[in-house]
Structure 1
Amino acid sequence: MSRRCELTGKGPMTGNNVSHAKNRTRRRFLPNLQDVTLASETLGRSFKFRISNAALRTVDHRGGLDGFFAKSKDVELSDAALKVKKEIAKAQA
């Protein structure tokens, strides 16, 4: 399972551990991923996603899963999320 957010595409970043003596060793900063179930009001169903906490806050801010997908870009979404977005758009039309 990749360490990538399904809604925002946020993934691992790299940087340095810096000791008191300024010795630098490489490290990874991993996104804070959570397994969540989000409900779509339009479809009347719920979907499981593995998303970052920042994405979860964005979904709440935009008024739920339907509002998030209305403003999201297709490039950032995973295949499963893109499929759900198209279903929601089809149901709203």
Structure 2
Amino acid sequence: MSRVCEFTGKRPMAGNNVSHAHNKTRRIFRPNLCNVTLMSDALGRSYKFRISAHALRSVDHVGGLDAFLGKAKEQDLSPAALKVKRELARAS
């Protein structure tokens, strides 16, 4: 299972640990991914996603799964999320 957010497309980034003596060693910044089940009000069923904590806060802020997927760019979404977005478009 890859470490990529299904809603925002966030993926691991590389960088450096920098010590007090300014020694640099490579490290990886991984996104904070959570397995969540989100309910779609329009479709009346729940869906499981692996999204970042930041995306989960964004879903709550926008007003739920339906509103978030309606505003999301298709290029950022995973195939599973894109399928749900298209189902929502058909249902509306």
TM over 0.5: yes
Q: TM-score of the superposition, structure 2-length normalised?
A: 0.98
Note the residue ranges of structure 1 that are not aligned, 5 or more in a row: none
Corresponding letter in the other structure for 1:12: P
Partner of 2:5: 5
Aligned to 1:61: 61
Task: Number of aligned residue pairs: give it.
Answer: 92
Counterpart in the other structure of 1:43:
43
Q: Which runs of 4+ in 1 moved over 2 A?
A: none
Q: Which amino acid aligns with 1:16?
A: N
Q: Residues 13-61 of structure 1: CA distance to partner in whole angstroms, max 9, x if unpaired?
A: 1110111211101111000000000000000000000000000000001
Structure 2 unaligned spans of 5+: none
Aligned AA (1:11): R
CA RMSD of aligned residues (A): 0.5
